[in-house]
Amino acid sequence: MDLPLVSVIIPTYNSASTIERCSKSIQAQSYAPVEVIVVDIIPAMPRPRSRAPYAQVIQTGPERSAQVNAGVRAARGKICYTGSDGDFELDASLIEASVKQMEANGLDALVIPNRSVGSSYWARVRALERDTYLDDSLMVAGSLLETGNFSGTGRAGRNPGGLRRP
């Protein structure tokens, strides 16, 4: 059986210092095939653009929702992963485990909660904030979706982890 192409959409703004680490975590996935689409906001003032090796880069804005929508429109994959930002790192088996769970359970979408890690004060605050709504279905949206169902609704499930934000 052919594995479905997964399009990883990375909305970002001025994340040149973190995008390489994010890109490497996607390249290290145990799952293939994967395409990476970085959607960088066009800044009002000149700033360093986000660059990710092995990625298509789209420049649009003005905000994250518009970026995700542009990335999905450019995606070639049967499945889109929209849960990553330019400063995220994905566990090496995240996409493989998630696609298997979607296929095994006939899901159109899968919620993958973001887990924050880090030792700075603000990293710990962000981790506490995210952990308070890990199991709250009103605070999260599907982050791995069949591309054709992106604007629709369907059966969704949950993946208990796999994404770290430093």
Higher pLDDT, 71 or 89: 71
Highest mean pLDDT among 103-112, 122-131, 145-154: 103-112
Q: 6-112+141-150+158-165 adopts what CATH topology? A: Spore Coat Polysaccharide Biosynthesis Protein SpsA; Chain A (3.90.550)
Higher pLDDT, 137 or 98: 98
Q: pLDDT tier at 158 (50, 70, 90 boundaries)?
A: very low
* Stated pTM of the model: 0.78
What CA–CA distances, in Å, run from 14 to 51, 62, 77?
Answer: 9, 13, 26
Q: pLDDT tier at 160 (50, 70, 90 boundaries)?
A: very low
Across the range 135-156, mean pLDDT stands at: 63
DSSP 33-47: -EEEEEEE---SS--
Q: Where are the domains of the chain?
A: 6-112+141-150+158-165
